[in-house]
Structure 1
Amino acid sequence: MRRLIPLVVLFVVVGRLAAAPPERTHDIVPADYATVNTINEIALSPDGKQVAYALATWDKKSDRRASELWVVSTDGKGKPTQLTSDRANDRHLKWAGDGKSIYVVSNRGKEAKAQVWRVPLDGKPEAVTNVKAGIINFDYAPKTDTVYFTTDATATDKDDFSALREKFGKIEYGHGTRTVSELFSVKKPGSEPEKVLADNRYIREFAVTEDGKRIAMVSAIDDTVVKSEGESRVDVWAAGKITTPPTDVYRAKASSPYAWLEGLAWNPDGTRYAFCAIHDAYPTEIIIGEEKDGKWATTRMNRNQVAAPSVREQQFHVRGYGSPLQWLDNESFSYLHEFGGYNTARTYALKDEATHAPDAEFRERHVVYAAHFQPGPHARIELVGDASGFPVLKFRSKETGEIVTLVDPNPHTADWKLPSIEHVTWKAPDGASVGGPLELPFGYKKGDKPLPLVVAIHGGPTTSSCNDQRFDAHNGRLYFAAKGYAVLCPNYRGSTGYGDKFLTDLIGNENDVDVKDIVAGIQHLIKEGIADPERIAVMGWSNGGYLTNCLITLKNPPVKIKAASSGAGILDTVAEWGFNDEPAYPIVFKKGLPWEQPDLYKKTSPTYGIGNVTTPTLIHVGGNDDRCPPGHSRMLYRALKEYKKVPVELNVYPGQPHGLGTLSFRTAKMEWDLAWFEKYLKK
């Protein structure tokens, strides 16, 4: 998948009653991006009376965003309490079994390596691990108060050339040594860890049962993406023995054998686990492992059985990357369900093999980023966004039925002139219904004069743009609408949340149906009088950058594209297979390897349409991007500057991976985008 300030004094909205919102007078500019705070993770205490959350803020001096640990009571009466303030990037929150402390991974101390820390509610953080190179992953068994963690190790494979590799050790070899994992347990801060297993495999993720007797692991032969996406599996460790439950349901018999595996979660008794098998080009599946008569079996969740279905619900997909699976009891679990640019937390019950909808208050026109439940006290929290503002933390007690907004991490945005957001639909040339969010400037009314249009194209493509407020430096959200542009975020063919056929139609049809869907959306807004046909621009990052490249290389395009911003975009799909870190992506979409499908690789490569380009193009890419390597961007730049003589700029961000990580680089990208489009979209 092609995907991707000093500590702010934070005031929060607590409880259900708040003052009338202030008049919206603030004009949003790229510099405001630094003030937007993000709740990254949430966790309910065992008694359901408190919520721990990781609040991420930007720091201009260090040029980075880091999260710190906070707690707030769920009764809606108290103010949040900050437990850490040293910008150690607290994450992976796990409440201790007694509810008196929280375990996190942090980068604090002199070495600032990732370690597990225990943060008491009434004291200072204590280091639980002290690994020189830092830990990689961790989990916690509450019934035994035991922390489990993994570290990296190296395995050497012996063959006829092992001695030669060892003799000339300064050469970088393609293979011969592998990064693998070792897994340890530790009872309390300062105690000596015990090695649990070292299987000469790389553990990408693991989950421990509440009693610590079983461990489920997503493992592969090494740490490379190529092995993870096609050969990783879920193993189960118990009593010193590793068992591999059947893999065919998510490999050999799956819609595609190249699934990413993530989201491992055990039921309370440790008899069942679940995880997501996330596919490029196909719907995400939830896989359930269950022990029966001493043997493990694996089955697939029934995605098509929805209790009390509606038209919208019949088009649902499991949200792929980052869907937080959690067992509510031994027979049911929650996950995130996506439909038409929205998503909600749903419950799947094994007894009737059906998905059940939550209460309507949590369902309609919301985008749920995270959810956490405590079945005992019947409590639920959700991090929820919508078109009215940035995400807030909400709590619902099943006993009282009350919904309380516990934390608004961005109260300072109450006077911002936020764009209006609506989900619009149009027809593709083949009759398919296509949709996506449309951002319009604050105060814009139907019948006002047409606006310059920015088409902001999401990555993936097996994902979607959501109908919520988000300040997105990579994909053009918010900052263009604030400048007076209409912004269309098309969920083109291959996007999730619109049904299986809509998703799989893209296989074998890249640089075709997706491009036609986007062009049809532009034409729809022109016809509606919203978009000025003389001022159309396109932009995107990752797969959005690829589609930007596809659009500007069209021969005789039905709409005139006056400016483009191509972010980390693929130009040649053979090179994508050869250089990118995830070669399964082109194999799936092109239905084979380059020598098996040469015509399809050529058809999907914008390279061969570069002669058609007349659009002034701004190019962005991270200097260390393995997902969409900078060679693609450099090739596009060379072609436009040296041969086509088309206005072009190439911005390579030193040291940056697939997504820009620093505040200064994200701000620079936004300002460059605005300046570029202002120049070339002027009347």
Structure 2
Amino acid sequence: MKSIRLLSLLPLVSLPLVARAQAPISLDEFMNATEIRDARIAPDGSAAVIATGVPDWQHNRFREDLWLWSKATGKLTSLTHSGHDSSPLWSPDGRYVAFLSDRPIVAAESDDAAGKDDEPSRVWILPLNGGEAFPLYTGKLDAHALAWSADGASVLFSATEPLSKDQEDANKAEWKDVIRWREQERGDLLLSIAVDAARERSQLAPEAHAKDDADKPALPPDARTIAHSTLEIDEIAPSPKGDVIAVESGPISHREENPADYEIYLVPAQGGELRQLTHNQGIEGSLKWNHAGSRLFFTVRAGGGSIEGPYQDVQGRIYSIDTASGKTTRLGSDFQGSWDDFTLTSHDAVLATGLTGMDQKIYRIDGDKFTPVFNDVGNNAHLEAARNSDAVLFTHSTINDPTQVFVASQPGELNSAKAVTAFNPVFHERAQVSWEPYRWKSPDGTSVEGVLIYPPGKKGAKHLPMLTLIHGGPEDADGDRFGADWYDWATYAAANGWLVFRPNYRGSTGYGDAFMLAIQPHLVSSPGRDILSGVDALVKDGIADPDRLTIGGYSYGGYMTNWLITQTTRFKAAVTGAGAVEHAANWGNDDLTYDDAWYLSGTPWEKPELYQSEAALFQMNKVTTPTHIVGGNADVRVSYFEQVVLERALQRLNVPHTLLLFPGENHPLDKNPWHGYIKVRDELQWLKKYGGQ
């Protein structure tokens, strides 16, 4: 597919603009989209650093690059070139950008050699006044989180507590390559290294340091240990006063088995014992201090439990906590949607993105109240205010407008902010889909909403072939936002003639806590009724052709697809990915296992009847729908054995099917872009073959 590599290098000049605007987007173009993964504004608002991901088809991976936008020039320029750089953070004085990278210490001879599997994700520092990026340390420490010290002199990071050389040798002698489940897991160290010392060391002899230290697990010689943690440290937030550091913990197993593993701790900046600040059933994150250093603000993400009582998956919430008294206050509680990103302005005003229905807008929060400050329809994210100026950065997109970074000089000018990036112009140069919200009543009278995406020029047409494409989560929602990848390929399906129906069934965010909680304990049957009633309504309204109905989804969307083909034979074809067909073994494997038990109101031995009645496997004898199955063979969330079980059942039942397994892929298909490309290519072919288009 040489055309894919050329797309990122050459302007599209071969066709006249008018003809190009009428042409549908190709799969090569669609899957070659640049993703904005992070965006950070400089402390004084004069610049922004932007992290992107883009397929590297030649090397079977995704490139990760950093870009710099300057307010003075108005230009966006490439900041790093290794293709392995992410998670940028400005130093407090704006002189440096720290980032994570698995690039080798010594320059690799080829791009293929860079970022090998044995390279850890180290902290690197890039001076913006000239000079090459240098590593903060050279040893094999894999950084879990990083932050600048309040004075900018040091970088803090967390890493698994290393073993001594003697301990490593003893382990290898006794256990060889045996994995001791849980027993070999270790907690983290919170470390600090002075930037000037690291820069001086790198300038002296980087090759020699790499040779001496690269294979040693021991701590860097100039690293200062601030704290030991029995848990992983997933987030670090030094107080502006420089006297204390807040950290967010997480499980060392990387499995969500106990919400108590996720708590906020404080430790003196000079080092000491961690003091637990929170004690709840929520998964905190996005730690931010007010300027006085007296209050710590944080979120509990949608589906991340609750700090008010027993664990339950509610919408995203924002809190602040007085670090002296431990008193916690919920912010914006009058909002009936789901809070997502938030930031504190230079005057400590709270700005946040909130999802209601189709749109995620920007609001100012004052106590329980909220006021919209950016009214454009679409999706806003990556919200960040400059620490020492009034400037605000955010990203914005719609279904037809690719995500771009915007910068406003102050919060009052968000509505007139201009884009500082121009990624993915090809999507504006091709025939665009049209869309509208669609609302219906579920059998119990509950109002449900979804998105209808029409093929170009087909809005208002009747009896269209329809793909019901179900979002994952379930704590998510489809709306007016851009998507172009292996997971979010609705607009590509529409460009290929399908009316795409994206239902926001019970359990989705943006429609109130009660709507989100109504999925429990009927994990698939309750939202399943919402989805099928929506399909019925579209057929009754004459929009969808009852003889050309298809269905698909990935992750929880795969769960639902597997379930729904046992409940009806109306779908002519199904495409399902990374979805379970039963819940007991999946509870044991899933890295979000506590979440699974909450949905079904207990463990498999406590609620065996629900684990069976809500599982597709025990009703597979009803399936007649030709089904295409995909999954990653390294998936720790939904084991690929779930897909193997589904395939075995369909084989036994003589139902047309196929199974694709992607080697080395976890739950998201983010290792090799060809896997996602083949997934979308073959799913569309399957729908065309069996869906009656």
Flag whether TM exceeds 0.5 (same fold): yes
Corresponding residue for residue 151 of structure 1: 159
- How far the C-alpha of 1:61 sits from its partner, in A, is 0.7
Distance (whole Å) between structure 1 residues aligned to residue 43 and residue 136 of structure 2 = 21
Distance (whole Å) between structure 2 residues aligned to residue 420 and residue 78 of structure 1 = 32
Corresponding residue for residue 503 of structure 1: 516
Out of 494-503 and 125-134, give the one that drifted further: 125-134
Check whether the contact 1:180–1:200 (CA below 8 A) recurs between aligned residues.
yes
Alignment of 1:281-300 (within 5 A): 281-292=313-324, 296-300=325-329
Q: Which has the higher contact order (CA 8 A, sep 6+)?
A: 1
Corresponding residue for residue 8 of structure 1: 8
| AA partner of residue 647 (structure 1) | P
Check whether the contact 1:475–1:540 (CA below 8 A) recurs between aligned residues.
no
Alignment of 1:81-480 (within 5 A): 81-88=77-84, 90-109=85-104, 110=106, 112=115, 113-123=120-130, 124-153=132-161, 171-188=178-195, 189-190=198-199, 192-220=222-250, 222-227=252-257, 229-238=259-268, 239-248=270-279, 250-251=280-281, 259-277=282-300, 278-279=304-305, 281-292=313-324, 296-305=325-334, 314-319=335-340, 323=341, 325-328=342-345, 331-349=348-366, 353-359=367-373, 362-374=374-386, 376-398=388-410, 401=413, 402-446=416-460, 448-480=461-493
Distance (whole Å) between structure 1 residues aligned to residue 453 and residue 463 of structure 2 = 14
| 2:687 aligned with 1:677 | yes
| AA partner of residue 318 (structure 1) | W
Secondary structure (helix, strand or coil) at the match of 2:609 reads: helix
Check whether the contact 2:182–2:253 (CA below 8 A) recurs between aligned residues.
no
Check whether the contact 2:144–2:233 (CA below 8 A) recurs between aligned residues.
no
| 2:662 aligned with 1:653 | yes
**Structure 1 unaligned blocks of 5 or more:** 13-19, 157-162, 252-258, 306-313
- How far the C-alpha of 1:400 sits from its partner, in A, is 8.2
- How far the C-alpha of 1:9 sits from its partner, in A, is 4.3
Distance (whole Å) between structure 1 residues aligned to residue 242 and residue 18 of structure 2 = 49
Distance (whole Å) between structure 2 residues aligned to residue 142 and residue 379 of structure 1 = 20
Distance (whole Å) between structure 1 residues aligned to residue 86 and residue 578 of structure 2 = 28
Check whether the contact 2:257–2:592 (CA below 8 A) recurs between aligned residues.
no
| Alignment deviations for residues 331-370 of structure 1 (CA, whole Å, 9 cap, x no partner) | 5433321110321233333xxx2343342xx233120121
| Alignment deviations for residues 284-323 of structure 1 (CA, whole Å, 9 cap, x no partner) | 333422123xxx4141414433xxxxxxxx531123xxx3
- Indicate which of 631, 634, 643 corresponds to 1:624: 634
Distance (whole Å) between structure 1 residues aligned to residue 50 and residue 447 of structure 2 = 39
Corresponding residue for residue 255 of structure 1: none
- Indicate which of 490, 502, 513 corresponds to 2:503: 490
- How far the C-alpha of 1:566 sits from its partner, in A, is 1.1
- How far the C-alpha of 1:24 sits from its partner, in A, is 1.6
Q: Closer, same or farther in 2 for the Cα pair 1:345/1:130, shift >3 Å?
A: farther
Check whether the contact 1:281–1:507 (CA below 8 A) recurs between aligned residues.
no
Of all paired residues, the percent bearing the same amino acid is 26
- How far the C-alpha of 1:105 sits from its partner, in A, is 1.4
- Indicate which of 35, 47, 51 corresponds to 1:54: 51
Check whether the contact 1:269–1:330 (CA below 8 A) recurs between aligned residues.
no
Corresponding residue for residue 620 of structure 2: 610
| AA partner of residue 517 (structure 1) | D
- How far the C-alpha of 1:220 sits from its partner, in A, is 4.5
Q: Closer, same or farther in 2 for the Cα pair 1:165/1:392, shift >3 Å?
A: closer
Secondary structure (helix, strand or coil) at the match of 2:669 reads: coil
Aligned length: 631
Check whether the contact 1:476–1:539 (CA below 8 A) recurs between aligned residues.
no
- How far the C-alpha of 1:633 sits from its partner, in A, is 0.8
Distance (whole Å) between structure 1 residues aligned to residue 241 and residue 610 of structure 2 = 52
- How far the C-alpha of 1:167 sits from its partner, in A, is 5.4
Secondary structure (helix, strand or coil) at the match of 1:577 reads: helix
Output the aligned Cα RMSD. 2.7
| Alignment deviations for residues 48-93 of structure 1 (CA, whole Å, 9 cap, x no partner) | 1212111322211112222222122336x622121212212x2222
Q: Closer, same or farther in 2 for the Cα pair 1:82/1:546, shift >3 Å?
A: same
Distance (whole Å) between structure 2 residues aligned to residue 142 and residue 82 of structure 1 = 28
| AA partner of residue 282 (structure 1) | V
Distance (whole Å) between structure 1 residues aligned to residue 171 and residue 229 of structure 2 = 26
Distance (whole Å) between structure 2 residues aligned to residue 115 and residue 7 of structure 1 = 31
Secondary structure (helix, strand or coil) at the match of 1:177 reads: coil
Distance (whole Å) between structure 1 residues aligned to residue 347 and residue 459 of structure 2 = 52
Distance (whole Å) between structure 2 residues aligned to residue 549 and residue 221 of structure 1 = 31
Distance (whole Å) between structure 1 residues aligned to residue 75 and residue 179 of structure 2 = 54
Distance (whole Å) between structure 2 residues aligned to residue 560 and residue 655 of structure 1 = 35
- How far the C-alpha of 1:37 sits from its partner, in A, is 1.1
Secondary structure (helix, strand or coil) at the match of 2:686 reads: helix
Out of 182-191 and 452-461, give the one that drifted further: 182-191
| Alignment deviations for residues 408-437 of structure 1 (CA, whole Å, 9 cap, x no partner) | 212232211121122221111111111122
Secondary structure (helix, strand or coil) at the match of 1:35 reads: coil
| AA partner of residue 431 (structure 2) | K
Out of 237-246 and 333-342, give the one that drifted further: 237-246
Alignment of 1:62-77 (within 5 A): 62-74=59-71
| AA partner of residue 260 (structure 1) | I
Distance (whole Å) between structure 2 residues aligned to residue 679 and residue 399 of structure 1 = 51
Corresponding residue for residue 310 of structure 1: none
- How far the C-alpha of 1:219 sits from its partner, in A, is 2.0
TM-score (norm 2): 0.85
| AA partner of residue 265 (structure 1) | K
Q: Closer, same or farther in 2 for the Cα pair 1:607/1:217, shift >3 Å?
A: same
Q: Closer, same or farther in 2 for the Cα pair 1:474/1:545, shift >3 Å?
A: same
Corresponding residue for residue 311 of structure 1: none
Check whether the contact 1:266–1:274 (CA below 8 A) recurs between aligned residues.
yes
Corresponding residue for residue 159 of structure 1: none
| 2:538 aligned with 1:525 | yes
Distance (whole Å) between structure 1 residues aligned to residue 485 and residue 607 of structure 2 = 36
| AA partner of residue 115 (structure 1) | R
- How far the C-alpha of 1:35 sits from its partner, in A, is 2.7
Check whether the contact 1:479–1:670 (CA below 8 A) recurs between aligned residues.
no
- How far the C-alpha of 1:133 sits from its partner, in A, is 3.7
Distance (whole Å) between structure 2 residues aligned to residue 373 and residue 634 of structure 1 = 47
- How far the C-alpha of 1:10 sits from its partner, in A, is 8.9
Q: Closer, same or farther in 2 for the Cα pair 1:409/1:468, shift >3 Å?
A: same
| Alignment deviations for residues 159-208 of structure 1 (CA, whole Å, 9 cap, x no partner) | xxxx9999556543333332211121112134622222223332122222
- How far the C-alpha of 1:533 sits from its partner, in A, is 0.6
TM-score (norm 1): 0.87
Distance (whole Å) between structure 1 residues aligned to residue 18 and residue 245 of structure 2 = 49
Distance (whole Å) between structure 2 residues aligned to residue 206 and residue 223 of structure 1 = 19
- How far the C-alpha of 1:211 sits from its partner, in A, is 4.4
**Structure 2 unaligned blocks of 5 or more:** 107-113, 165-169, 202-221, 306-311
Q: Closer, same or farther in 2 for the Cα pair 1:598/1:130, shift >3 Å?
A: same
Secondary structure (helix, strand or coil) at the match of 1:454 reads: strand
Q: Closer, same or farther in 2 for the Cα pair 1:407/1:11, shift >3 Å?
A: farther
Check whether the contact 1:333–1:347 (CA below 8 A) recurs between aligned residues.
yes
- How far the C-alpha of 1:608 sits from its partner, in A, is 1.1
